[in-house]
Structure 1
Amino acid sequence: MKKINYLAAIALIAVVIGCTGNPDQPDKTAIKDAGKTNQKNIPSDTLKKRLIRAGELEVSGKNMAELHSYFDTANFRFHGPDKRESNYAQLNSYFRSYRAAFDDLSIKRGLMISEGNYIACQTWIEGTFARPFTLAPYGKIPPNKHRVIRELMNIFRFDDQGRLVEEWVQLDNRSYLRQLGVEAK
C-alpha cells in the first residue's frame, strides 16, 4: 500500500511542476507563479483546511456567504478537460445542477501535496443519481438511482490571502459517464 501512495505522490508532484493548463498554449500565469512562495506565509495546513471546507460547502450548498469567502470570486478560473474553462459563477452553476441531480452528496480529499500557494490533491465526490443531471459533461442525463463516485485529480492555486484563484482538474469522464448509465456508441 505504501508503494501506491509514494507513486501517487510522485505523479501529483509531476503534475504540479508541469501544470500549464492547455498543452498547446501554456498558461503563462501558472508558469510565472509556479516558482513563487506564499508571500504571507500562510501555513500549508491552513490552506488545506480552507480547501477541504470550500469543497464541503460547494457540495452541500449550505452557507454560500462562507463559501464565497474561500474564493477570489472576481478572478477565479477553472480549467477542466477538453479545454473547458469556467469562472466562479459558472462553477457554482455547475454545482447547483449537481446538487439538484444527486442525493446524499459527499466530498473526500485524499493525498494532498502543497508547495507555496499550490495544493495538488485527490478528490472523490459521491452521491446517488436521483434526478436528471442537466449540466452533465455531454448533455442532460436521466437518473439511474445508482451510487456514483466521481474521482478527480485537482491542482489549486491560492492568492496571498488564502483564497482560491485557480483550479485545474483531470478526471476520467468515460468511467463517470458509465456510472451515470451512459454507454459509448
Structure 2
Amino acid sequence: MSRPTRDELVARLIRAGELEISGENPEEVAGYFDTDRFRFHGPDGFETDFAGLDAYFASLRTAFDDRTIRRGVIVMEGDRLACQTWIEGTFVRPFTQSPVGLLAPNGARVVWDLINIFRFDDEGRIVEEHVRTDNRAVLRQLGADAA
C-alpha cells in the first residue's frame, strides 16, 4: 500500500470531522485514527487518547443541536497537516465537558474557532493532534464568562 496523497489525507480528515460531529458510523471514524497510539494535545494542557476524544465529541453531540464543522486554510508538510477549523452548534442541553466542567444550556449559537495540527502515519491514520483555541471566547459564548 502506498502512502496516501495530500488530497487523500485532506479528504480523510474532512470525513473524520463530519462523522465525529454527526455521530454517524463510529467504526468508520475509528478507521481514520490509530486508536491505540493516538494522542490529543489541547488548550490549557488538556491531554487525552482516542477514547477521550470520542467521549468529548459525544458530549458535544448531546449538548448541541444543528452542529456543523468547516475546515479553512489547510497546509501540509511531511506527515503533518495544519488547518483552521470551525465547529458550531446551538447550546440546548447540559454540556458535561466544557473547559470548566458541567454547564447549563443557554440557547446560544456557539462557535469554536480552532487551529489544528494533525500527524498521520504511513497508512493515513491520525496518530496525533494539537489544538489551539480561545477558551475565554468559548466560555463567554457558553454563558460562563472567564474574564
How would you bin the TM-score normalised by the shorter chain?
A: over 0.9
Q: Higher Cα Rg: structure 1 or 2? A: 1
Alpha-carbon separation, structure 2, partners of 1:71 and 1:41: 15
1:132 aligns with one of 83, 94, 112: 94
Correspondence for 2:50: 88
Q: Which amino acid aligns with 1:73?
A: T
1:179 aligns with one of 138, 141, 147: 141
Q: Runs of 5+ in structure 1 lacking a partner?
A: 1-39
- Measure how far apart 1:105 and its partner are: 0.5
- Measure how far apart 1:82 and its partner are: 1.4
Q: Does 1:146 align with 2:108?
A: yes
The 3-state SS of whatever aligns with 1:73 is coil
Alpha-carbon separation, structure 2, partners of 1:101 and 1:183: 18
**1:1-185 correspondence to structure 2 within 5 Å:** 40-184=2-146
Percent identical pairs in the alignment equals 58
Q: Which has the larger share of strand?
A: 2
The number of aligned residues is: 147
The 3-state SS of whatever aligns with 1:53 is helix
- Measure how far apart 1:41 and its partner are: 3.7
Query: Relative to 1, partners in 2 of residues 1:159 and 1:178: Cα closer, same or farther, differing over 3 Å?
Result: same
- Measure how far apart 1:183 and its partner are: 1.8
Q: Which segments of structure 1 move beyond 3 Å, counting only runs of 4 or more?
A: none
Q: Deviations over 1:126-153 (max 9, x none)?
A: 0100001011111111000011111100
Q: Which amino acid aligns with 1:165?
A: V
- Measure how far apart 1:184 and its partner are: 3.0
Q: Which amino acid aligns with 1:159?
A: D
Whether contact under 8 Å (2:116, 2:130) holds in the other structure is: yes
Q: Which has the larger share of helix?
A: 1
Q: Deviations over 1:8-62 (max 9, x none)?
A: xxxxxxxxxxxxxxxxxxxxxxxxxxxxxxxx44210110000000000011110
Alpha-carbon separation, structure 2, partners of 1:43 and 1:96: 30
Q: Runs of 5+ in structure 2 lacking a partner?
A: none
Alignment RMSD (CA, Å):
1.2
Q: Which amino acid aligns with 1:180?
A: L
Q: Which amino acid aligns with 1:164?
A: I
